[in-house]
Amino acid sequence: MTRCWVYENWTLKKAILHLPECGYCNNGEGIHADKSDKNSKWHEFSTLDDGMAFVRASGYENARTCKSCLDYRIADGGLWKNQAFSIAHADKGPFIGGLRAFFEYRDLGIKDATRGKYGAHVIRAVPGMESPGGWHTHDLDFQVVYVTKGWVVFEYEGQGEHMLREGSCVLQPPGIRHREVRHSDDMELLEIISPAEFPTAEAAVP
């Protein structure tokens, strides 16, 4: 159980959730010596869930957690654990250009929700465009690919060529040399990586 405070200011229309030890909170004393309850009030809650429920119910435009002490931090009850709640809908997520000219990418919002620790996007083929088949490596910690439509052929260092088709999943170890050989025009896949941004380098043929 983690006690918390919510600073409510109905004049400024905001409700901010704080941990008691936060410098802006100071156990509900705030930072102003001449504290007044004319347009604001500190509310104490026994759990973060209760405090967050109050923040959500306030209806204020500025209703959030304190960016100094709680923003994306681990919270009792599994509120964040270093992540923000995020939803991405297909009809509101445009495909744009990215790392490869023969692919286009739809970001799923995971990068922003995890402050760049993870990333996820849908990748689809640009019809009529082929891969140059260059060997390369990625400097990252985690990369998994799951094919949702069509097929794609990858070649991996020490593993040979593999055709991934609808339902295929591959974990690409960090730094493994690989290349995209060919793909169907209707290819579409999900890629999850960590971190969200990473360097890519050309590599010699293994």
3-state secondary structure 43-70: EEECCHHHHHHHHHHHCCCEEEECCCCC
Average pLDDT over residues 16-23: 86
CATH code for 90-202? Answer: 2.60.120.10
At residue 75, does pLDDT exceed 60? Answer: no
Q: Please, is 31 exposed, middle or buried when counting C-beta atoms within 10 Å of its C-beta (0-12, 13-18, 19+)? A: exposed
> What order do you get walking across the sheet with 136-138 strand by strand?
160-165, 151-156, 178-183, 136-138, 200-202
Domain ranges of the chain: 4-65, 90-202
Q: To which residue do tokens 């001449």 refer?
A: 34
At residue 85, does pLDDT exceed 80? Answer: no
Neighbours of 26 (CB within 10 A): 14
Give pTM, 2 decimals: 0.64
